[in-house]
Amino acid sequence: MPTLDYRGELGRKALHLLALVLPAAVHLFGAEALYGLVPLAASALFLDIARVRISWVHSAIDGFFGWMMRPSERPSLGSAIVINGATWVLISMALLTAVFPAGIAVVAFVTFMLGDAAAALAGRRFGRTHWGREGCTIEGSAAFLITAGAAAVLLPYDFPVWMLGVSVTAAMLVEGAPLRLNDNLVAPFAGAVVLYGLMFVA
C-alpha cells in the first residue's frame, strides 16, 4: 500500500516540474550553471544534516514540506542523516552538468523528471501489475516511457530518435529496478551514460 497520499504525490511531482528550471539554466549557460547548481546542492545537503541536529530547522522543514515527504525522508531529531529526494535532484543535476556535455545532461534530466512524475501519478491511479522495486508498476513504467520519449523528441537537440528511445528506456528500467541508490541520481545517469555511449558507436 502507498505510504504517501495522492495529494502528497502531486506535491512531490509539482516540485519535479519546478526543478525543470535547473536544466533550463544548463541549456542557457552550459557548465557555467555549476556556479549556481553546486551551492544549491550543498545548501540542500546542509539542511538535511541540520534538520536532524537543530530542533527549529527540523520543525520548519517538517512543517512546510512534511506533507509531501515519504516516511523514510522524515527522520526524527537526533537520528541518522537522511538525504531527501529534492536534495538528490539538485545533486543529480549538478553531477550531470559536471560530467556530460550540456545537451546530454539536459536531455537525461528532463526526460527522467517528466517520466518519473508520469510514472508515479499514473501508477498510483492505474497501476495493477507490479514489477521491480516496491510501488513500481508496468502501467506506471509505460507512462514513463511515453512521457519521457515525447519530451526527448521535443527538446531542442539533434540526437537521433532511436538513441533517445534507448536512453529513455535505460532510465526507465533503472528507475524501476530495486536498487539501494536513489533513483533521482542513478536513473538520469543511466540515461546520460547510454546516450553518451551511443554517440560513439552510431
Q: Which amino acid is at 28?
A: L
Cell output for 6: 495522492
What's the pTM value of the predicted model, to 2 decimals?
A: 0.90
Check residue 118 and give its pLDDT.
Answer: 93
pLDDT per residue over 14-58, tens digit each? 877 889 999 999 999 999 999 999 999 999 999 999 999 999 999
pLDDT per residue over 143-178, tens digit each? 999 999 999 999 999 999 999 999 999 999 999 999
Q: Hey, what's the torsion of the CAs at 76, 60, 117, 35, to 10 degrees?
A: -110
Contact 62, 74 (CB under 8 A): yes
First to last CA, the chain: 43
